[in-house]
Amino acid sequence: MILKSKGNLLEKLVPILLVALIGLAFAVGMLWQKVQNLEGGGTTRIAGTQAGGTQVGNPQVAAQLQQPTKGVTIVDDDPVLGDKNALITIVEFSDYECPFCKRHFDETLPQLVKNYVDTGKVKIVYRDFPLSFHDPMATKEAIAANCAREQGGDKKYFEFHDEIFKRTTSNGNGLNDEKIQTIAKDLGLNTGKFSTCLSNQAQADEVKKDIADGTAAGASGTPTFVIGKTTSNGEVDGDLVVGAQPFAAFQAVIDPMLQ
């Protein structure tokens, strides 16, 4: 009787155990996919969520994974990296405290500069899109870079831009006011003029204009890029590329425009 009871109990437990194992396997699979997404790429969105991408080496595969939508914006009077008469313009809407923007700076921007900017094919226009949950530091950094430009033009702007991304740890806590002043000193800026510029309302208004133009172009997070042929009126009507995409994703958009 005891053996029979044990057998009946096992018969009842087996289906339950199988269901539990299937559920566990599903949960592990979902967790693994989330990890892969976060490692592959992403976007910091206005709502604060993160969307993953996948790094690939084949431009055709990259194009299949992220089909760009269309976007229209202007270069405004913002800093330009590269030949201002280059055939293609990339307008980048970015946040200095966005970890995915930092990833783009570390991993993809050097390849874009080497292959397209330094060869005179592409120019990059940097426009500010600080997100509210990265403030006040994100906006302060945007203004600081613009103040560096006020003293030394686009060259000094991008020197400051580079130092922010190199030194920040992102997510709104990467730098503080003292570290911003240190960058200014290290780059040889007039610190008195720099400090005065930081409190200039015109600089804050310039950042707000960038945000408005980015929103109108379809940006809902950072980094967001509008890529199209350069026009005489400064308007860029092209493809919208969103997130910390690999170099191959940019190749897939830029190369056909160069043909």
Query: pLDDT tens, 39-86?
Result: 334 666 553 333 333 333 334 433 444 555 899 999 999 999 999 999
Q: Is residue 224 part of a domain?
A: yes
Q: How far is CA 51 from CA 22, 25, 32, 223, in A?
A: 27, 23, 15, 12
For position 96, which CATH number holds? Answer: 3.40.30.10
What was the pLDDT predicted at 13?
53
Is 237 inside a domain boundary? yes
Distance CA(225)–CA(214), nearest Å, equals: 9
Owning domain of residue 248? 42-258
Is pLDDT at 103 greater than 50 in this prediction? Answer: yes
Helix (H) or strand (E) holding 229: strand 224-229
Q: Does 185 fall in a domain?
A: yes
CA distance 117 to 201: 33
Nearest to 145 by CA among 136, 158, 134, 133: 158
15 belongs to a structural domain: no
pLDDT of residue 20: 54
14: pLDDT strictly greater than 70: no
Instruction: Indicate whether 17 pLDDT > 80.
Output: no
Mean pLDDT of the chain: 83
pLDDT at 173: 87
Question: Does residue 1 sit within a domain?
Answer: no
Q: Answer yes or no: is 4 within a domain.
A: no
So what's the pLDDT on residue 94?
98
14 found inside a domain: no
Domain-located, residue 73? yes
Q: Provide mean pLDDT across the span 24-32.
A: 43
Per the structure, the count of domains in the chain is 1
Q: Please determine, for residue 4, whether its predicted confidence score (pLDDT) is greater than 50.
A: no
Token pair for 161: 């831009």
